[in-house]
Amino acid sequence: MYSDLLNALPEVLGLSNFLAVIIGVIAGIVVGAMPGLSATMAISVLVPFTFGLEPLVALGLMAGIYNGAMYGGAIPAVLLRIPGTPAAVATTFDGYPMAQKGEGGYALQVAVVSSAVGGIASAFALMLLAPPLSKVTLLFGPSEVFWVAVFGLASIIFLLGGNPIKGLISACFGVFVSVIGSDPIFGTDRYTSGQLELLDGISIVILLVGLYALPPVIDLLETPLKTDGVNSSKLGTEPIWKTLPRMGRFWKTWLRSSFIGIWIGILPGAGGSMAAFMSYNEARRASRTPETWGEGEPEGVAASETANNADTASALIPALTLGIPGTAVAAVAAVMLGGLLVHGLQPGPMLFRENPDVVFGFMWQFLFGAILLILLGGSLATNSFARLLNLPRPLLGSVIIVLMLIGVYSIHGRMFDVYLMLGFGAIGWVMDKLKFPLPPVVLGLILGGFAEENLRLALRIGRGDWTVLFANTTSLVLVALTVAVVVGPMVKRRLAKRDLRTKET
Amino acid sequence: MSDHRPSRLVRPETLTALGIIFLALAFLVPTTGLRPISALLPAAMLAGLILLSAILLIRDQRRASAGSKTAPLTQAPRRVIGAFALIAGYAVATDLAGFYPATAIAIPLVAWLFGYRSPAGLALATTIVVGSAWAIFDLGMSQDFPAGRLWQ
């Protein structure tokens, strides 16, 4: 089962693949360091540019960006109390007070080492857990695959929190977009309005760039953030090798936070920020000096950063094996599924059988990305990356707009796609402002076609008899899980309300 | 004294729900011409969108009648409309005048209008981006960018 994992290693160590991870990590740190930009946006903008690349090079870039951005978010969190990514909120609690005391450099070093520890643990979890799970999912037939898709959508909608009606609307929109184009069996046009450009359906890249890259650009231009500037000479940075021994005392926190991060990452609908908060609270509870937390306790930074990096690779366990992203709040996993599709890799049970070299290579890239974090983000770059915060944001916004246009135009060499992307961008901006979740749209587009194909296949096998969808135990288990995912949060909310009423009376 | 309370119908969520219902109904028309099996999933999704948007609409109107105020979509509508207009304008200009002229104008224009006013920085950034796009995509990857319909 794990021999494929070892077989994939030599190719990952090839120059181009390894270089891709290095570039990805640096780009990820840069993106994560800039408030308003995120790994999701960076990967969305990157995906169209990877068309011409080998799948492993493209995936290496994505793995690097994902790892790098999770640490990069700590830089403004520590220096300015502005989390670069939502997952870095808990890092501000102790990171910023440390910077105020002139220990900003040490806080960033604790953040980078802890991020690497969390990332490495997460990559090992992916390597150990995904292969056996994929063996099980390989036994799935069309009706089970259909139910897996339904379960995936349901879990994203109902476990995300927030308004389930809005989640459902997002998912319906995503699935509807997935049916635009030629019917997969009869070849008849569906909702193309005679546009030849729509016959092949809507490329996931256009949707990703529109939904995830345009709204942050509008935000960058809407509220230009003025920073006071960061003077790197005030960071108090020592070489990282000198500070490493001082971090030895965090080993228990690293272990606990890695476990929390991995677990949260696997759960559909949970996310990096939840992992970081939970981990911070648990570490504080376990601390002998909880009164120092919030006033510049390095262990707080370690707890938060370990957990928010430990959910990166583990979020891909359900994503790669079932096609369901784990950490949906960060949405990166959903976007990465789109990145896989662009290279003809359908996430789900068959991925491990048909493309073992790519999927296992991707896992190694996550591991190397996490290790490279220390080298790239730690020793040399801490001071340099801090200066990124002084970049003028209107200029940054205008450059991203150009990159978006180049990326989307390059897919098929037509302006139609650019206009379509702008349309999705406007929709994405409204959805974002009205708090409609975006991951169900992406997942709807990914799983919609997949679900329809398997539903129709199952019905053909069953000669049109709908009971074929409930004919075996696995399907029934998946139906039960779907019902649990839908009903569970409702019951929980009801019980919480009843408790509240009881307390009030 | 006049009452400046905005109409309940222009609440963002209400407008969005109405928009979704209208569009979903419009898409249902061509759905009727499809084979039943081809129409199954899209019809289900459109019906779902209509039903869910109706629920959203009713809930929002209930909140409105209970006196709940709604936050505006943006605190700076002129900046947002300006940003969208400039991005759309850039796409149209690329289509009509070509990628390089449009980009050479769009980068400094957007950055200048939104607050970055350093001529040297603008010139440098424009040169780097346009030059890199030409070197990487045009020269290195033989990627053709729109030459502009006006010149064809």
SS (H, E, C) chain B: CCCCCCCHHHCHHHHHHHHHHHHHHHHHHHHCCCCHHHHHHHHHHHHHHHHHHHHHHHHHHHHHHCCCCCCCCCCCHHHHHHHHHHHHHHHHHHHHHCHHHHHHHHHHHHHHHCCCCCHHHHHHHHHHHHHHHHHHHHHHCCCCCCCCHHHC
CB of B106 within 8 Å of any CB in chain A? yes
Contact residues, B window 66-105, toward A, CB-based 8 Å cutoff: 73-76, 79-80, 82-84, 87-88, 90-91, 94-95, 99, 103
Q: For A76-104, how does the pLDDT look when each residue is reduced to its tens digit (9 = 90+)?
A: 788 777 676 667 778 888 988 888 788 88
B88 and B116 both lie in a single domain? yes
Is residue B107 situated within a structural domain? yes
Alpha helices by DSSP H, listed for A197-290, are 204-208, 214-222, 240-247, 251-266, 272-286
Measured CA to CA, the distance from residue B12 to residue B34 in angstroms comes to 34
**Chain center to CA of A202:** 22
Helix (H, G, I), strand (E, B) or coil at A371: helix
Residue of A23, A146, A193, A398 to mutate, interface with B, max B Cβ within 10 Å? A398
- Per the confidence metrics, is the pTM higher than 0.90? no
**A157, A440 in Cβ contact below 8 A?**
yes
Q: How far apart are CA A462 and CA A141, in angstroms?
A: 12
In a domain, B3, yes or no: no
Measured CA distances, B69 to A162, A166, A469, B3 (Å)? 19, 19, 46, 15
Distance from CA of A325 to the nearest CA of B (A): 22
A371-380 pLDDT, tens digit per residue, is: 998 888 765 5
| Confidence category of residue B1, pLDDT binned at 50, 70, 90 | very low
Sign of CA dihedral A168, A435, A335, B85: positive
Show me where the domains of chain A are located: 3-140+209-439
- CB-based contact A143:A458 (threshold 8 Å): yes
Which residues in chain A (398-457) have CB-CB distances under 8 A to chain B? 398-399, 401-402, 405-406, 409-410, 413, 415, 418-419, 422, 425-426, 429-430, 433-434, 448, 451-452, 455-456
CB contact under 8 A, A221 and B83: yes
Question: Between chains, do A176 and B45 touch, taking CB under 8 Å as contact?
Answer: yes
Residue B117 lies in a domain: yes
* Boundary-marking domain end, from B65, B89, B107: B65
What does the pLDDT average to over A35-49?
Answer: 76
CB contact under 8 A, B45 and A456: no
8 Å CB contact of A175 and B116: no
**Residue A328: pLDDT over 50:** no
pLDDT reported for residue A385: 59
The last residue of one of the domains, among B38, B65, B92, is B65
Q: Looking at CA atoms only, how far is residue A399 from chain B in angstroms?
A: 7
Residues 6+ apart with CB under 8 A from A21: A60, A61, A63, A64, A365, A368, A369, A372
Task: State the nearest Cα–Cα gap between B2 and chain A, in angstroms.
Answer: 30
Domain that holds residue B17: 8-65
- Whether residue B86 lies inside any domain: the answer is yes
In this prediction, residue A33 carries a pLDDT of 76
How far is residue A433's CA from residue B135's CA, in Å, rounded to a whole number?
38
Contact B137 A410 (CB under 8 A): yes
**Distant-in-sequence, close-in-space partners of A106: CB < 8 Å, separation ≥ 6:** A98, A236, A237, A238, A243, A246, A298
Q: How many domains does chain B have?
A: 2
On whether both B86 and B61 belong to a single domain, the answer is no
pLDDT of residue A292: 87
Residue B73 to chain A, least CA–CA distance (Å): 6
Q: Residue A181 forms beta bridges with which residues?
A: A190
CB contact under 8 A, B110 and A434: no
Candidates B41, B59, B128, partner chain A, best to mutate (most A CBs within 10 A): B41
Structure tokens at A268: 């559909």
Mean pLDDT of all residues in A235-263: 85
> Are residues B124 and B94 both part of a single domain?
yes
Average pLDDT over residues B108-122: 92
Residues B61 and B97 in one domain: no
Under the banding of pLDDT at 50, 70 and 90, the label for residue A226 is low
